[in-house]
Structure 1
Amino acid sequence: MPDLSRHLLCCGDATDLATWSSIPYFLLQAGQRQGILQGGLRLDPLRLRWRRQHLNLAQLLRQGKPGGFQYSRTFVSALLKQAQLPADQPLNLLSHFPLLPAADWPAAWRVDFYIDATTRQVFNDYGSGERLAPAYRQQVLERERQAYGQAGAVICMAQWAADSVIRDYGIDPAKVHVVPGGANLDETQVAGLPTANPPPPPSRDKPLRLGFLGKEWQRKGGPFLLELADALQQRGIPTVIRAIGPDPASLPSHPSLQPLGFIHKQTDTARFVAELQSWYFGTLFSEAEAFGISNRECLRLGVPVLAHAAGGIASTLPDNGCGQLFAAHPGADEVADWIAARLSSYAGYLQWRAALAPRWREFTWDAAVRQLAAILG
């Protein structure tokens, strides 16, 4: 019987913790534990830098705009060639990159996709398509449509992306699925940490802590959190914003903002976990967001989340026991009023939080892999 062991594929080294916010790494670890992934391909886009300059010049001459090398057939073909995969032997690939491999891959291969966003959504919602010529954008989207059509399954982290696959690319809904991602945390290390006490009622000495997690302060809603802190202060609730990720030098000066810089989740796990568990709420009020792994990390650690329904964020919170999902782009007063009401009975808040903690397994990559296994067979 042919060996159909599955390999994880992404735009980079799937075995490297630094690749794509660590998502391939943690998915690979869980996939190997459960036996649905044999390994991950180690690809190096930096080896293709010299080709980027050549293609950008060609794009400028042909289309009037340079750029878009990472979306080109030249790039994906050269990148995949690094793996030296046999074209004439059965092979299973689970790809994190919608254009890799390019459509018309060998008939002996089975390719499934597990994506956070379609390329159309990346172009439109994140604005990255503005620097590309319209004709080139259409070529890229057509190649993506062909790849989805040839794939066995197209699995999305959020319903937002699944809707795009069906609506924008015309893919049969029967082959489109949703599997939310898990927390990018080392479960062995987390399991060895002591149980944390819940935070005390907010006071002047121990103010309400709202957490921000991510490098992109502006895109992920940092400015809104400062407005929210002001609104809470006006309601007599001392509040601070604890920010992990952004360079403190790049952040605005605000009395409620407490920048923590970068905390390495793998080498400084205890500090990272203790910090998140000291938050009353994690937050995610992004301008654009394909999913929101930070929400899953908060939930994994028993911390409820405040977010709004922009992009794929809604799929990170399965129900009201996990926090509060507001309509997209709420006002600071609306969110502040909700927080004040939620904390008005602090015993009720603690009971709500205590009910979330035992659900931690729902938010792990092991849980996601079990869902993937049921789909992939």
Structure 2
Amino acid sequence: MSRHLLCCGDATDLATWSNIPYFLLQAGLRSGLLQGGLALRPERLRWRRRLWNLAQLLRSGRAGGFQYSSAFTRALLAQAPLPAMGGSEPLALLSHFPLLPPEPWPAHWRVDFYIDATTHQVLHDYGSGQRIAARFQRQVLERERRGFQAAGAVICMAQWAADSVIHDYGIDPAKVHVVHGGANLDEAKLALLPVAQPPPAPSAEQPLRLGFLGKEWQRKGGPFLLQLADALQQRGIPTVIRAIGPDPAQLPPHPALQPLGFINKQTDTAHFVAELRSWHFGTLFSDAEAFGISNRECLRLGVPVLAHAVGGIASTLPDDGCGQLFTAHPRTAVVADWIAARLSPYAGYLAWRAELAPRWREFTWEAAVEQLKGILGPSPI
């Protein structure tokens, strides 16, 4: 019996779910935790989605939620070359999606979950439930609860999700664990790059660099960063916001904003890494966030992070040596004052950053896989 990684998509494809399944799979293959990943294609179910949504609209007045339905999960899993559900061949799955495989599964399957958020959190904290009928939501959450109960272990990327598994679903805390995700970066390519110098003290010629990494400018706190840049300018600290990910055409005009568009970290690793290492701080001031892999990527590269305690973000920063975690939705003045104090004297900032750099292994998927192995044991081949 071998263990395979399962997600709502192709676990072998770099483009799936913010690269997380791909990098976990590669680290899992190297360590022996995993023997493969399932390549599922939810896009092939688009016509079924349209018919299901229409039927749901007629039944309840709300059309959303196909991805949470039994029809979707069963049709999606049927794409994989797995033993027949009625057969007796043993199988082990590590699932990133809390509704896959659909419950009930055969007794000779071993299923464990490794999730960033529960469906309860997605529906309520992210607001996805607004377009889904309340009765259907209750059905989905009950199926998820039964899946968690039947699983060997429910492992979460953040304590935030673990608390939901325990309190919202009533799962025994003994089977709930937390393993923080790693940086989605190619370690082999990183090993070939030269050691970079830290950024210089902020000046008019070389302003303070605050980094933004992600596609969703609004949700991940982009507007707050523009206010923060203004507050820092008022304190005499020249500041720019370096934004990787959002479409520059969709960003607001602001003198401090420097859109960089999309940088492919696989094909243009040196450029991506050099950009992040040039930042004084990475940032993540999201309205809702299950974890925050961008924080782990900054920390892997020795860049401290500024963020606030929303969702699972707190779990991305192990301690004060990694940056600063602010109370949820802080005032810009509070963050600006903290930055000004942290940069003075600048030698103190450099010493702080120098202590972070040697800790890079903590923030890799290899470190996460070792913890997963401690919980799951070696692959049950």
**TM-score (norm. length: structure 1):** 0.99
Q: Out of 13, 37, 44, which is 2:10 matched to?
A: 13
Deviations 1:204-223 (A, max 9, x none): 00000000000000000000
1:29 aligns with 26
Deviations 1:264-297 (A, max 9, x none): 0100000000000000000000000000000000
The aligned amino acid for 2:42 is P
Distance 2:317 2:350 in 1: 19
Matched ranges for 1:130-145 at <5 A? 130-145=130-145
1:310 paired to 2:310: yes
Secondary structure of the corresponding residue to residue 249 of structure 1: helix
Identity of aligned residues (%): 79
1:160 paired to 2:160: yes
Deviations 1:29-65 (A, max 9, x none): 0000000100000110111111111111111121221
The aligned amino acid for 1:282 is G
Deviations 1:233-268 (A, max 9, x none): 000000000000000000000000000000001000
Q: Out of 37, 55, 58, which is 2:55 matched to?
A: 58
Distance 2:227 2:55 in 1: 46
The aligned amino acid for 1:44 is R
Q: Out of 48, 70, 74, which is 2:67 matched to?
A: 70
Distance 1:79 1:255 in 2: 47
Q: CA deviation at 1:25?
A: 0.1
Contact kept? 1:67, 1:132, Cα under 8 Å? yes
Distance 2:343 2:48 in 1: 56
Distance 2:332 2:207 in 1: 18
Deviations 1:331-375 (A, max 9, x none): 000000000000011111000000000000000000000000000
> Which 4+ stretches in 1 moved above 6 angstroms?
none
Q: CA deviation at 1:67?
A: 1.7
Contact kept? 1:5, 1:36, Cα under 8 Å? no
Distance 2:221 2:284 in 1: 7
1:204 paired to 2:204: yes
The aligned amino acid for 2:221 is G
2:278 aligns with 278
Number of equivalences: 374
RMSD over aligned CA atoms reads 0.6
Deviations 1:74-115 (A, max 9, x none): 000010011131132111000000000111101110000000
Contact kept? 1:98, 1:119, Cα under 8 Å? yes
Contact kept? 1:110, 1:152, Cα under 8 Å? yes
The aligned amino acid for 1:312 is G
The aligned amino acid for 2:17 is W
Structure 1: state its 5+ residue gaps: none
Secondary structure of the corresponding residue to residue 169 of structure 1: coil
Secondary structure of the corresponding residue to residue 14 of structure 1: coil
The aligned amino acid for 2:313 is I
Deviations 1:121-172 (A, max 9, x none): 0001111110001001111111100100100000000000000000000000
The aligned amino acid for 2:310 is A
Matched ranges for 1:311-350 at <5 A? 311-350=311-350
1:184 aligns with 184
2:195 aligns with 195
1:84 paired to 2:81: yes
1:250 aligns with 250
Secondary structure of the corresponding residue to residue 101 of structure 1: coil
Q: CA deviation at 1:306?
A: 0.3
The aligned amino acid for 1:232 is L
2:299 aligns with 299
1:239 aligns with 239
Q: CA deviation at 1:328?
A: 0.5
Range with bigger deviation, 75-84 or 268-277: 75-84
Distance 2:51 2:198 in 1: 56
Distance 1:216 1:60 in 2: 28
Distance 1:198 1:57 in 2: 55
Deviations 1:188-234 (A, max 9, x none): 00110010001111000000000000000000000000000000000
The aligned amino acid for 2:55 is A
**TM-score (norm. length: structure 2):** 0.98
Distance 1:148 1:273 in 2: 38
The aligned amino acid for 2:296 is R
